[in-house]
Amino acid sequence: MTPRLNSKFYILKYDSAMKRLDRKFFARDTERVAKELLGKILCREENGVIYRGKIIETEAYTQDDPACHAFCGQTERNKSLFKHPGTLYVYFTYGMHFCANISTEREGYGSGVLLRALEPVENINKTNGPALLCKSMNITKALDGSDLTSPVSSIWLQYEDAKLINKKDIVATTRIGIKKAAELKRRFYIKDNRWVSKK
DNA sequence: TAAGTGATTAGC
DNA sequence: CTAATCACTTAT
């Protein structure tokens, strides 16, 4: 598979396909995926425009966790959390906001990582909160169920050779905006990053 | 600290 | 069916 230099379209498709994080990355322990997503680049293409942001804050949710949307089992709303790892779960809340998660572990088990904040990289600006980042990239319910690992998906994670964020630069603390299981330290962010959502 | 805003879900 | 809740944001 070699890109033809005279075909812009072909190069774009080739480039995108080769750079995407694959299913194996997501098919692991949810907390581990939440930590390793820090520093990765979330990409979204719409109408020929590519939006990019570096993930700098995440939260882990597993089916055995009372704060997880999947805790009471699968419903029409949360079904994407149960799909194969790397599936996007977008939900609508407070009558006006969308939030995005990525399913983890294995098919049939309801778990995922909430994307809470990005550091702008390309064509986005206000991204320091889970609903703000969705707004900045126009992530809506229409994308719920998307396979982030598919070479033709309009939303994906860019593969980066860069090293994982050093453990000493990852802060692990309590999650925001939940009442149940509020003591669990399943929120992770890159230390000293100015785009971390405010408490 | 409270309002805005409507889908989702649990409980009759 | 009804009512409470909600992994948020913005403006007081």
DSSP string for A90-150: EEEETTTEEEEEEE-S-TTS--EEEEEEEEEEES----SSHHHHHHHHT--GGGTT-BTTS
User: How much is the pLDDT for A160?
Assistant: 73
Question: Is there contact between A77 and strand B, defined as CB under 7 Å from any strand atom?
Answer: yes
Q: How many helices (H) and strands (E) does chain A have?
A: 4, 8
* Alpha carbon A126 to its chain's center: 16
Chain C nucleotides with an atom closer than 7 Å to a protein C-beta? 6-10
Q: Is the dihedral of CA A57, A62, A66, A69 positive or negative?
A: positive
Per-residue pLDDT of chain A (199 residues), as tens digits, is 333 333 334 444 445 445 799 999 999 999 999 999 999 999 999 999 999 999 999 999 999 999 999 999 999 999 999 999 999 999 999 999 999 999 999 999 999 999 999 999 999 999 999 999 999 999 999 999 999 999 999 999 998 766 789 999 999 999 999 999 999 999 999 999 999 998 6
Residues A136/A142/A144/A147 CA torsion (nearest 10 deg): -90
pLDDT at A79: 97
Closest nucleotide to A69, Cα to C1':
C7
* A88 DSSP β-pair partners: A102
Give the side-chain half-sphere CA count within 13 A for A24. 1
Can you read off the two tokens belonging to residue A34?
Answer: 């939440």
What gap in Å lies between CA A175 and CA A116, rounded to an integer?
10
Span CA (A126) to C1' (C5), Å: 28
pLDDT of residue A19: 78
First vs last Cα of chain A: how many Å apart?
Answer: 48
Predicted pLDDT of residue A4: 36
pLDDT at A198: 82
Return the closest-CA partner of residue A68 out of A30, A112, A26, A106.
A112
Sign of CA dihedral A144, A150, A155, A158: positive
Spacing of A161 CA from C1 C1' in Å: 55
Distance A97 CA to B12 C1' (A): 30
